[in-house]
Amino acid sequence: MAEVLGGTTTLKLAETAHTAHAWRIHEIAGDFDLEDVWALDTPGGPDDFGKLVKQFSSGNFPDGSPLPVRALWALRWKLGALLGLDERSSGLDTRVGSLRGKLPQDLRDTPTGPDEDWLPFTPLYRLDDEFAAEMANRTMHGVLHIAWVEDGQGGHRGQMAVLVKPNGLFGRLYMGFIKPFRYLIIYPALMRMIAREWKGDS
């Protein structure tokens, strides 16, 4: 279903667009909430997934985003510092265990590029049509899932899902508080940037 978010038409998908696929992430993060599923404007062929993963790791977000996005991003990090949201004691292998401990053996040795910058995420695994990375802070444990799917028109495109496990009541309240900002400002800008960078590299 197409939704108008922040003045632009952005394709937010039904949950089944993610859950109906036999993605490996289901084995690992089955107890996470599926927050969002988005169709990415990244048309390509069956072998172009590596290009999309590389673009995500080297993208210019949020630095290349409009001023409101950059302002929100800066505010988030200032609040994080003030409230201790991003302290080491609230992250992976401290507050929560990394999902790498749940990876089947065949996923543990999948490649991640040595020159890729995924901060604040930590890559979990990469396959020919699926990539996952995780992050954790005081509010939640989250997974970014990127996939390569058929577009129904003889081609392929990217698909992005966000999975979260809120940290108690505080985490759920925080996620609810930031939701309007994500939908009205952050996501539209991110989707436009992904499409623009993809077409610029094509």
Higher per-residue pLDDT: 172 or 120: 172
Kindly report, residue by residue over 34-74, the tens digit of the pLDDT.
999 999 999 999 999 999 998 888 766 666 666 777 777 77
Identify the DSSP state of 100. Answer: G
pLDDT of residue 178: 86
Identify the DSSP state of 90. Answer: G
Go through 112-123 and write b for each residue having 16 or more CB atoms within 10 A of its CB, e for each that does not.
eeeeeebeebbb
pLDDT of residue 183: 87
Identify the DSSP state of 12. Answer: B
Kindly report, residue by residue over 12-28, the tens digit of the pLDDT.
899 999 999 999 999 99
pLDDT of residue 66: 66
User: Which residues, at least 6 apart from 61, have a Cβ–Cβ distance to it below 8 Å?
Assistant: 189, 190, 193
Residue 154, token pair as written in the block: 């003889």
pLDDT of residue 2: 42
Q: What percent of the chain is predicted at pLDDT more than 70?
A: 86
How would residue 5 be classed by pLDDT, with cut points 50, 70 and 90?
A: very low
User: Which residues, in sequence order, are bridge partners of residue 134?
Assistant: 122, 143
CA torsion 191→47→124→115, rounded to 10°?
-80
Q: Is the pLDDT of residue 4 over 50?
A: no
Question: Chain-wide mean pLDDT for the chain?
Answer: 84
Reference 183, options 38, 25, 77, 33; nearest CA is 38
- Residues listed for the chain: 202
